[in-house]
Amino acid sequence: MLKTKDILDEKDKRLHQISKEVVFPLSDEDKKIINDAIEYLTNSQIDELAEKYDLRPGMGMAAVQLGVLKRYFVVVHEYEPGKFNNYVLINPKIVSNSLEKIYVDMGEGCLSVNREIEGIVPRYARVTLEAYDINGNKITVRGREELAIAFQHEMDHLDGIIFTDKIDKKNPYKDMDNMRAI
């Protein structure tokens, strides 16, 4: 079972490298990483299990966060209490986005960043991604609000970007009045 200590810390240089496209069929190692990430993310959002296994809560994880520089990520979205949708996106690309920008009111977080961060990260309120599923079939997924933010956050990981890189260092709340808090 995946543990919090298995997730790379923001100081690890691999998190700032660009991940490589995945070649199908997926390796057994990649399938295991995907399943382990789904299990971790699901358990981390269930309070009793998060406490029992000492898991930091999260809804998304990119392969690079586990030291694998490949273009895929998993998002486990709790759409109502105790009910989850799993998104496995391989070689994803954002194909459209809203003009409206949003940000996380309480501040964005990341399983690789184990500290409080001041500031906001501008994100699109809605995004559409094209990607491949674990069998190599082309899929299209849409995300709004929280799910859109998770998709964009994980896409950034694939390009070697951590959310802290996107916060304006001189003015951490820059343009906040032009965006909607969620």
- Which active-site residues does the annotation give? 154
What is the DSSP secondary-structure string of the chain? ---GGGSPPTT-GGGGSPPBPP-SSPPHHHHHHHHHHHHHHHHHTSHHHHHHHT----SEEEGGGGT--BSEEEEEEEEETTEEEEEEEEEEEEEEE-S-EEE-TT---BTTB-S---S---EESEEEEEEE-TTS-EEEEEEETHHHHHHHHHHHHHTT--GGGGS-SS-TTTTGGGSEE-
